[in-house]
A and B are shown apart, each in its own frame.
Chain A
Amino acid sequence: MLIPHPLLGLRDAQEFTYLGDANLINRPDPNAPNAEAMFCDYVFLRDNPAGVHRELWYHEQGDRSWLVVTRNTVTHEILGAELASDVALAHREGSK
């Protein structure tokens, strides 16, 4: 597979380490009253769709960026890739 790194262009997927669902960016509030239940969902439950999936890849043998890659899990087609830090910051802006 080839991953379109937003800074470095197409890179072989072998340079990356895969983590999983990009929802892992959205760590729950540890001080919420139902924090334990929210963390259980966050840590363990997955949508695991057959289709478009936003997921985290780490450019471990590259520039050490974490990326959010949008990929179809049925065809493996990649629809885009963003810096995870940009996604995380945008998410914060959005939830303010």
Chain B
Amino acid sequence: MTRLSGGLIDRNSSFSFTFDGKTYTGHQGDTLASALLANGVRLMGRSFKYHRPRGVVAAGSEEPNAMVELRSGARTEPNTRATVAELYDGLVAKSQNRTGSLAFDALGVNDYFAPFFAAGFYYKTFMWPRAFWEKLYEPMIRRAAGLGRLSMQADPDSYDKGFLHCDVLVIGGGAAGLAAALTAARAGAQVILCDEDFRLGGRLLAESHRLDGAPATDWISTLEAEFETLPNLRVMRRTTVFGVYDHGIYGAVERVSDHVVEPGNKVRQTLWRITAKRAVLAAGATERHIPFADNDRPGVMLGGAMRAYANRWAVTPTQSAKDPVAIFTNNDDGHRTALDLMSKNVPILGVIDSRENAPRFGDYDLFSGAMVTGTKGRLGLRDIEITKGGVASWHRCAALGVSGGWNPNVHLASHHRGRPVWDDTLLSFVPGADGPAGLIPAGACVGLGSTAKALADGAKAAGIALAELGIKTPEVALPDAEDMPVSQADFWHVPGKKRAWVDFQNDVTVKDISLAHKENMKPVEHLKRWTTLGMATDQGKTSNVSALAVMAELTGKSIPQTGTTIFRPPYTGVSLSVLGGGDTGVNFRPRRLTPTHTWAKSQGAEFVEVGQWMRAQYFPQAGETDWRESVDRETKAVRVGVGLCDVTTLGKVDVQGADAGEFLNRMYSNMMGTVAVGKVRYGLMLREDGFAYDDGTCARLGEDHYVVTTTTANAGLVYRNMEFARQCLWPELDVQLISTTDAWAQIAVAGPKSRLLLERVVDEFDLSNDAFPFMGCAELTVCKGLRARLFRISFSGELAYEIAVPARYGNALMARLMELGADLGAAPYGTEALGVLRIEKGHAAGAELNGQTTAAMLGLGRMVSAKKDSIGAVMSRREGLARDARRLVGLQPVGSTERLMAGSHLFTQGTAHSMETDQGWVTSACYSPHVGGYIGLGYLENGDTRMDEEIIAANPIEGSEMRLRVVPAHFVDPEGERLRD
């Protein structure tokens, strides 16, 4: 064990966990990484390309190496950073990206062939022979690539979405964030404080600094107690703000249950959309390393991380005086690590400081003006080579802390593509002035890294936010804290011939950058893409700036001249599940149910998805074994008796006002204002570009009152377009609109006996042909006083009506009609029979009205009135539309009983089948009980002049072909006598 004294772990708790099948114990407050280190485990992963053995580098969310598959079975979570995986009793983790065991990874052989895998090598080879790419090379590469594995099982956990609003959002709960939250909350503002960690304090938890002379945790505890009393402050731990979006909207993920074995009845994570008037970005800073030869062995860590493990988790990678810890630094901060470790009795080899005349802060061996130039140890660091004044010496060393300075976490400040700017004093990028509106960076993320400065800057940022919101800033006493200046050298990597890693996970070395430079991949974006630098799961947090420095050295330019990199959301990886929000499976989208749904369900109907609607598709009866059998029966019922179908899903728009008629004249291509009161007219609508897009009926219920129907698919679109015309094009017209699709249940009552049936429900209403002829409409009452609307319209070609009642009565009306129509053979029919009936009658539906067709193609060219203006009229006269000679025709197989397939293409007999000879296509097809065979509708070149011609329907994708006869698009009652009967 390598536990030290102190730390923020609960030693009374004992958590058992496994890593690669071996059982270990840890404590509450541990992360997986700290617990593994405490158990003497240094080897935690393998690198991406060379499969080099790797240990933990960092102590936070920037970790590039210690990636594990967490949990098991369907909950397996690949690529989890051990440094942020909160330990719980029963945690199961496995190492990943290895073939064999972690210690003996067969693909470790890649490392020996590393010279062949230099940056960009795959762009230069694997090209011959051509067919080998998909069959050999690529599968090989794909197997070797990737990191963790998906379980391939559906995620069993629940997720949620939430919306929050506040005056001030504080991002980060370290010194600056706490000061900001305290200030804003005491001012009475609505405040949300988010921190990615499970414990507030940020870097304060990792340091030995004292506040007001006491441990920092004392101050934090006092603060947390006060926070509890402030109803205007919401503290969200385990919550990462991952992105900044427009107008002060922030995306955040709260890990509600990731620290327990199973979420139980809670969600695993919640996606929060936080709308904040102002935000304080107190995201801190990330330490950078210094590339040197073989700097990637387990045991080589960031100095600040080593300090964090010692102070917060009471862990050190080594306690053996024989195998001590060393520090390699270019700045004062590295020395702090040595001091903190020494105070905990960790043996120290010394501090290797690249600066000549490096300052001394304590009683340790100081290698001033020295560098680490090599390491040894196959699965973990054993020796380091120190070079000073050109003289190299090897030293036993089990852990090396590397401190290359700190990079402010500018990420969120550049999410709106504002570029960070270089600060020559800090030797780092800081947020630029063109960050997201309302976002105020503070503390270490603007380079103010001392505790005192971070506290003060956090409070100041809150003050700015409050002032902008017109809220008075209270006096807030901040604790006394260290304010030591940190000097550092402009020293970026140790020169040398061996590989020195810049991007650990993706195995990008200084040599790779040098090769990219040689091959003219100098722009930073080319460098990244050519070498994959910064593309790893840490998104370059630990590598980008160092790489820029190396490239700057090669090009002889400054770092900012070489380039800047901006960051895109998310700040850290966000689970795909939580972004999906949890509404998966059948809950993916809402279901709209028709008013007669429960009745249809009780009748055993099969349902089908029609957009968001669920509609009855057909009603199988006892003894029917095939859907066709049911559909044929339903179709016949309409042709010989009476059928009932819920057509509520068709869009309905109520149009009222003195100018309603004029308005409708402009909406429809045909004249609509002239329809008489009590009459219905069929109408066609064009888009302004002249193509047909919807059809329906328009009923005039009163002088100033019309009811428009639309297709189911376009109900929303037509209504939107009508509102556009009313508000934007012709606001001077006196007309009002409202969608009543959901207000009225509408049932089609179709068939020769429909009148007989309706007579049994209407209250003293004359349904005779003379009194209520075809295309009549009326408001009336049914079933002794229920208000209703009746339309004598027909989609099937039979005598037919549509009756509408308030939606809540739809179910009862359907049941009543069925009951009263039993002796007439009344039968419900679904969308399948509806489709057959309309094809038999030659009515266009979605397949014909697909937005690509002209009125003329539909055979409705004369419906585009030349006497008046209407939407689309002018553009429908363009050359291309006028010349389009395809026409809707009926199609009947000749000498074949095979099924005619919609989507077959039409060809003139005797021609080769190609795009050039293509004559059209079958839009819709079905078996027609009326005809006794398959029939279809289709668009055919000059179709109106080709009646009785035999043509070919070719369907090569399914290997079928048949002869068809071109017929008029009316298979039933072409003269239209039945519907007028």
Task: Mark interface residues in B704-733 (1 if CB within 8 Å of A CB, else 0).
Answer: 000000000000100010011001110110
Out of A30, A35, A43, A84, which one reaches B728, CB within 8 Å? A84
Contact pick for A2, options B275, B724, B877, CB 8 Å: B275
- B720 — which chain A residues lie within 8 A by C-beta? 17, 58, 60
C-alpha spacing A65/B727, complex, angstroms:
8
Let me know if B685 is at the binding interface, CB within 8 A: no
* A7 at the B interface (CB under 8 A): no
Interface string of A80-94 (1 = CB under 8 A from B): 000111001100100
- Say whether B728 contacts A56, CB under 8 Å: yes
A25 adjacent to B723 (CB under 8 Å): no
CA separation between A85 and B735, bound complex, in Å?
13
List, in ascending order, chain A residues with CB within 8 A of B873's CB. Answer: 30
Contact between A84 and B249 (Cβ–Cβ < 8 Å)? no
Q: Does B437 contact A (CB under 8 A)?
A: yes
Most chain A beta carbons < 10 A, residue from B688, B869, B874: B874
Which one of B247, B416, B688, B874 lies within 8 Å of A35 (CB-CB)? B874
Contact in complex: A1, B729 (CB < 8 Å): no
What residues on B are CB-neighbors of A1 within 8 Å? 245-247, 249
For chain B, residues 676 to 722, give those with C-beta under 8 angstroms from any C-beta of chain A: 688-689, 716, 720
B875 lies within 8 A of chain A by Cβ: yes
Residues on A with beta carbons closer than 8 Å to the beta carbon of B732: 89, 92
The answer to whether the Cβ of B472 comes within 8 Å of any Cβ in the partner chain is no
Which chain A residues lie closer than 8 Å to B275 at the CB level? 2
| Cβ 8 A contact of B724, one of A43, A58, A77, A83 | A58
A25–B729 contact, CB under 8 A? yes
B171 to chain A, nearest CB (A): 19
Residue contact B875 to A39, C-beta cutoff 8 Å: yes
Q: Which residues of A contact B591 (CB under 8 A)?
A: none
Give bound CA distance, A67 to B53, whole Å. Answer: 60
Rounded to whole angstroms, the CA-CA distance of A60 and B437 in the bound complex is: 28
Closest to B877 in A: A36
Query: Is the interface on chain B under 10, 10 to 19, 20 to 34, or 35 or more residues?
Result: 20 to 34
Give the residues in chain B near A83, CB-CB below 8 Å.
Answer: 727
Could you say which residues of chain B place their CB within 8 Å of the CB of A85? 727-728, 731
- Shortest A87–chain B CB gap in Å is 8
Name which residue of chain A comes closest to B687, CB basis.
A43
Q: Is the CB of A30 within 8 A of B249?
A: no
Interface flag for B11 (CB, 8 Å): no
Q: A16 CB to closest chain B CB, in angstroms?
A: 11
Cα–Cα, bound, A12→B723 (Å):
21
- Residues of A within 8 Å of B248, CB to CB, are 2
CB of B878 within 8 Å of the partner chain: yes
Q: Which residue of B lies closest to A28 (CB)?
A: B874
Given known contacts A89-B731, A89-B732, A66 and B247 CB-to-CB distance under 8 angstroms: no
A46 at the interface (CB under 8 A from B): no
Most chain A CB inside 10 Å of its own CB: which residue of B275, B416, B731, B732: B731
Shortest C-beta distance, A42 to chain B (Å), equals 8
**Chain A residues within 8 Å of B716, by CB:** 60
CB-nearest residue of chain A to B739 = A64
Contact A25-B728, Cβ < 8 Å, known A30-B873, A31-B869, A78-B247: yes
Any B CB within 8 A of the CB of A79:
no
If A30-B869, A35-B874 touch, whether A88 touches B727 (CB-CB below 8 Å) is: yes
Interface size on A, residues (CB 8 A): 32
Given contacts A1-B246, A66-B728, A85-B728, contact A58 B869 (CB under 8 A): no
Query: Are A36's CB and B878's CB within 8 A?
Result: yes
Contacting residues, chain B, for A84 (C-beta < 8 A): 727-728
Beta-carbon nearest neighbor of B869 in chain A: A30
Identify which of B437, B724, B873 gathers the most chain A CB atoms within 10 Å of its CB. Answer: B724
Give chain A nearest CB distance to B483 CB in angstroms.
38
Give the residues from 37 to 82 in chain A that come closer than 8 angstroms, CB to CB, to chain B. Answer: 39-40, 42-44, 56, 58, 60, 64-66, 75-78
In the complex, which residue of chain B has the Cβ closest to the Cβ of A42? B688
Question: Residue of A at shortest CB range from B163?
Answer: A12
- Residues A66 and B688 in contact in the complex (CB < 8 Å), given A2-B249, A36-B878: no
Instruction: List residues of chain B with CB within 8 A of the CB of A66.
Output: 723-724, 727-728
As a 0/1 sequence over residues 567 to 606 of chain B, the CB contacts with chain A under 8 angstroms (1 = contact) are 0000000000000000000000000000000000000000
Considering only residues 275-307 of chain B, those with a C-beta below 8 Å from chain A are 275
In the complex, residue of chain A having the shortest beta-carbon distance to the beta carbon of B275: A2
Indicate with 1 or 0, residue by residue over B844-877, a CB within 8 angstroms of chain A CB atoms.
Answer: 0000000000000000000000000100011101
- A-side contacts of B688, CB under 8 Å: 27, 39, 42-43
Q: Is the CB of B246 within 8 A of A36?
A: no
Q: Which residues from 219 to 253 on chain B have a C-beta closer than 8 Å to any C-beta of chain A?
A: 245-249
Q: Which residues of A are found within 8 Å of B416, using beta-carbon distances?
A: 75
**Minimal beta-carbon separation of B883 from chain A (angstroms):** 15
- Rounded to whole angstroms, the CA-CA distance of A78 and B437 in the bound complex is 12
The proximity string for A residues 10-28 relative to B, scoring 1 for CB distances below 8 Å and 0 otherwise, is: 0000000101000011010
- Chain B contacts with A in 634-656, Cβ cutoff 8 A: none
The residue from B247, B729, B875 contacting A76, defined by CB atoms under 8 A apart? B247
Chain B residues closer than 8 Å to A2, beta-carbon distance = 246-249, 275
* Least Cβ–Cβ distance between B654 and chain A, in angstroms: 13
Task: Say whether A77 contacts B878, CB under 8 Å.
Answer: no
The answer to whether A77 and B869 touch across the interface, beta carbons within 8 angstroms, is no
Given the complex of chains A and B, what is the CA–CA distance between A57 and B731 in angstroms?
A: 16
In the complex, how many angstroms separate the beta carbon of B521 from the nearest chain A beta carbon? 29
Q: Which residues of chain A are near B724, meaning CB under 8 Å? A: 19, 56, 58, 66
CB nearest to A68 among chain B residues: B728
Chain B residue contacts of A39, Cβ below 8 A: 688, 874-875
For B871, give the chain A residue with the smallest CB separation: A27
Once bound together, how far apart are the Cα atoms of A75 and B248, in whole Å?
13
Across the interface, name the chain A residue whose C-beta is closest to B688: A43
Closest to A64 in B: B723
- The reply to whether A43 and B875 contact each other, CB–CB distance below 8 Å, is yes
A66 to B875, CA, bound (A): 24
Choose among A17, A31, A36, A42 the residue with the greatest number of B CB atoms under 10 Å from its CB: A36
Given contacts A25-B728, A31-B869, A77-B437, contact A58 B723 (CB under 8 A): yes
B728 touches A36 (CB 8 A): no
Tell whether, in the assembled complex, residue B246 and residue A76 are in contact, meaning their CB atoms are under 8 Å apart: yes
B723 touches A43 (CB 8 A): no
Most chain A C-beta atoms within 10 Å of own C-beta, residue among B245, B247, B249, B877: B247
Q: Is the CB of A88 within 8 A of B247?
A: no
What is the minimal beta-carbon distance from B926 to any residue of chain A, in angstroms?
35
Quote the shortest CB–CB distance from A6 to chain B (angstroms).
Answer: 13
Q: Which residues of A contact B723 (CB under 8 A)?
A: 58, 64, 66
Q: How far does the Cβ of A67 sit from chain B's closest Cβ, in whole Å?
A: 9
Q: Which residues of B contact A56 (CB under 8 A)?
A: 724, 728
Report whether B728 and A24 are in contact in the complex, using a CB–CB cutoff of 8 Å.
yes
A12, B878: Cα distance in complex, Å: 40
- Taking CB as reference atom, which chain A residue is nearest B878? A36
A14 to nearest B CB, angstroms? 10
A41 CA / B31 CA spacing, docked (Å): 63
Distance to closest chain B CB from A17 (angstroms): 7
List 25 A-B pairs, Cβ < 8 Å.
A1-B246, A2-B275, A17-B720, A19-B724, A24-B728, A25-B729, A27-B729, A30-B869, A30-B873, A30-B874, A36-B877, A39-B875, A42-B688, A44-B689, A58-B723, A58-B724, A60-B720, A64-B723, A66-B724, A75-B416, A84-B728, A85-B731, A88-B728, A88-B731, A92-B731
List the 5 closest pairs (A to B, CB-CB), nearest first. A30-B869, A85-B731, A2-B247, A85-B727, A1-B246
Instruction: Kindly list 19 other residue pairs between chains A and B, CB separation below 8 angstroms, not including A35-B874, A43-B689, A66-B724.
Output: A1-B245, A27-B688, A30-B874, A36-B877, A39-B874, A39-B875, A40-B875, A40-B878, A43-B688, A43-B875, A44-B689, A56-B724, A64-B723, A65-B727, A76-B247, A77-B437, A85-B727, A88-B731, A89-B732
Chain A interface residues toward B at CB < 8 A: 1-2, 17, 19, 24-25, 27, 30-31, 35-36, 39-40, 42-44, 56, 58, 60, 64-66, 75-78, 83-85, 88-89, 92
